[in-house]
């Protein structure tokens, strides 16, 4: 299914996206735990992701880049701060330079994934992003974060069907 809600809360400094998946929680977890499946949806369709490193253990790191239609390659990183497979994952997510080093002064968001079994089958997936300041949240929104993550998550249905 597609995204069912995108909630922006300036008071709480959060952006949350919720979707209903026609798959059990264990299958939904694989969308995150298998880097090749994650690559198929993490970036919006015009900016597909490639994960270079992918370690979802506590304290683990992930690094990735997204390739744009003109060949540009913005880079990012995750640092895993909590993990409870197959139900929850929390990580810091930030921008990186060409060498994969975190970009100084760029916003860092803390993201939390929650996967819950739905009554009658399927999974509710919620991705909540928390920001350090209103300025950081506004900067990320101006970059098209809400639209980009919605487009990205909307690609999951095809992965589950195929």
Distance separating alpha carbons of residues 71 and 59, to the nearest angstrom? 31
Mean pLDDT (the chain) is 95
Q: What pLDDT digit, counting tens, does each position of 15-55 carry?
A: 999 999 999 999 999 999 999 999 999 999 999 999 999 99
Q: Tell me the pLDDT band of 1, cut-offs 50, 70 and 90.
A: low
CA separation for the pair 15, 3 (Å, rounded):
13
CA dist., res. 4 & res. 16, Å (int): 11
Q: Is the pLDDT of residue 113 over 70?
A: yes
99, pLDDT greater than 90: no
* pLDDT tens sequence across 48-82: 999 999 999 999 999 999 999 999 999 999 999 99
Region 133-152: what's the mean pLDDT? 94
Predicted pLDDT at 144: 93
Domain ranges of the chain: 3-161
Predicted confidence (pLDDT) at residue 141 exceeds the cutoff of 80: yes
**Strand 109-117 to 75-84 pairing:** unpaired
Superfamily of domain 3-161: START domain (3.30.530.20)
Provide the whole-model pTM: 0.94
């Amino acid at each position: 299914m597609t995204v069912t809600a995108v909630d922006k809360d300036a008071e709480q400094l959060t952006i949350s996206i919720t979707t209903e998946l026609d798959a059990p929680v264990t299958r939904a977890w694989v969308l995150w735990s298998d880097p090749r499946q994650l690559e198929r949806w993490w970036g919006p369709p015009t900016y597909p992701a490639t994960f270079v490193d992918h370690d979802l253990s506590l304290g683990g790191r992930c690094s990735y880049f997204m390739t744009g239609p003109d060949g540009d390659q913005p880079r990012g990183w995750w640092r895993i701060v909590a993990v409870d497979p197959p139900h929850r994952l929390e990580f810091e997510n930030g921008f990186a330079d060409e060498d994969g080093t975190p970009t100084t002064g760029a916003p860092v968001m803390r993201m939390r994934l929650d996967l819950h079994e739905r009554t009658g089958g399927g999974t509710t997936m919620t991705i909540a992003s928390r920001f350090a300041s209103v300025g950081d949240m506004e900067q990320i929104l101006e970059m098209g974060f809400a639209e980009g993550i919605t487009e990205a998550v909307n690609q999951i249905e095809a992965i589950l069907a195929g």
